[in-house]
Amino acid sequence: MSTAELLYQELQHVAFGSGGPFSEKQCLDMAPIVDEINALKKEKNAVILAHYYVDPQIISGVGDFVGDSYKLAKDAKGTNADIIVFAAVKFMAETAKVLNPDKTVFVPSKYNGCSLADAVTDVDVRRLKAEFPEHTFVCYINTTAAVKAECDVCVTSSNVYDIIERLPTDKIYFLPDRLMGLNVRDELARRGVKKDVQLYDATCYVHEAFDVDRVEKLRGKYPEVRVLAHPECAPDIIAKADFVASTKGMMQYLQDTDYEAYLLLTECGLASRAEIEMPDKKFVGPCTECRYMKSNTLEDILRVLKQPDNDDRVEIDASVRDGALACIENMFKYAEMKPSDAPTGD
Ligand code: SF4
């Protein structure tokens, strides 16, 4: 089967997000650049890590590893490639570089920020540590390497509740996502765990945008709809959801269940991917696009493989790297701990 036919086989099912559903002509037009990228990957021993939120033609055409932040961090840790191209945003590429200091890591998009990662600096964290000297600093993975270097442990949306519960301390400062932090407080209360969780004041502009009235209207229209929400959504949205999980957790839930329709309260890229992997399932709106994730293009991926600019390359100072690595390694340690091995707090 030709590259264009393979692309069309997958992308014709995409209705959510930018660009879909894709026509045969669009797939035919994209095929040469997809072929060129895949040939360069082999020639240079490069791999492409693609977050679920990037455009579906990147995932289907050139992605070697696809997933959420936690899975991609593990994929970055395990790869034997010399070059990692991270089709996502810069903080994720920084995590890959911290885990692979000897590999070349590129972030192809020039517009590679994040409303969470951009909201807090290492200077802010040092100030807060002076203000809350008894607190353990837990950062969401959506932070820069410099911020991670100042924190004790990082978490992703797939492990935030369990790690905070397992930490052997009852004083936590969680940053930067205030909405996720409010959900952590609610979840700890549901689990009967008492911890003082202090919060920073930043939000993901994509997940903050979902509104309860719209969700309720959709429930009225599709009484059997299952509502899946990401922990970056506001607590009133989480309270309306049937299932709360990271993007990987949502994909697993979709594979394991068979309801009449699903509403995915996260970035549109997940619905696009789910439509490709599960074309028989029905997805209903709304979803919202992340302008940072959607700024990744096949053209930029080709550019960094052929002739990268200096600012495409992700570099981390050695002094920052050691602290950030300890923070990320602590995440792996606590995430993979069996509940029975978890230290107990006071
Ligand atoms: S979806 Fe939100 S948290 Fe994720 S990269 Fe975009 S702005 Fe950041």
pLDDT digits (tens, 9 = 90+) for 159-174: 999 999 999 999 999 9
* Domain containing residue 243: CATH number: 3.40.50.10800
Pocket test for ligand 1, best of 267, 272, 287 (most atoms within 8 A of CB): 267
Residue 27 sits in the same domain as residue 153: no
For the segment 18-35, the average pLDDT, to the nearest whole number, is 90
Residue 105 sits in the same domain as residue 144: no
Pocket test for ligand 1, best of 116, 200, 264 (most atoms within 8 A of CB): 116
Q: With a cut of 50, say whether residue 346 has pLDDT above it.
A: no
Residue 211 sits in the same domain as residue 200: no
Q: Is residue 278 part of a domain?
A: yes
For the CA of 177, the nearest atom of ligand 1: 3
How much is the pLDDT for 19?
Answer: 65
Residue 108 sits in the same domain as residue 44: yes
* Residue-averaged pLDDT of the chain: 93
Q: Is residue 313 part of a domain?
A: no
For the CA of 114, the nearest atom of ligand 1: 8
Residue 103 sits in the same domain as residue 144: no
How many of the other CB atoms lie within 10 Å of CB of 333? Answer: 12
Q: Which H/E stretch holds residue 228?
A: strand 226-229
How much is the pLDDT for 337?
Answer: 82
Query: 280 C-alpha to center of ligand 1: Å?
Result: 28
Looking at the structure of the chain, the number of domains it has is: 3
191-214: buried (b, 16+ CB within 10 Å) or exposed (e) per residue? Answer: eeeebebebbebbbebbbebeeee
For the segment 113-127, the average pLDDT, to the nearest whole number, is 98
Hey, whose CA ends up nearest to atom 6 of ligand 1? 290
Decide: 270 in ligand 1 pocket, CB within 6 A: no
* pLDDT tens, position by position, 250-302: 999 999 999 999 999 999 999 989 998 999 999 998 778 999 999 999 999 99
Q: Which domain holds residue 333?
A: 117-204+319-340
Q: With a cut of 50, say whether residue 343 has pLDDT above it.
A: no
| Residue entry with tokens 């959504």 | 233
Residue 90 sits in the same domain as residue 171: no
How much is the pLDDT for 339?
Answer: 59
Residue 237 sits in the same domain as residue 252: yes
Q: Is residue 314 part of a domain?
A: no
Query: 89 C-alpha to center of ligand 1: Å?
Result: 8
In the chain, the percentage of residues whose pLDDT exceeds 70 is 96
How much is the pLDDT for 73?
Answer: 84
Residue 108 sits in the same domain as residue 152: no
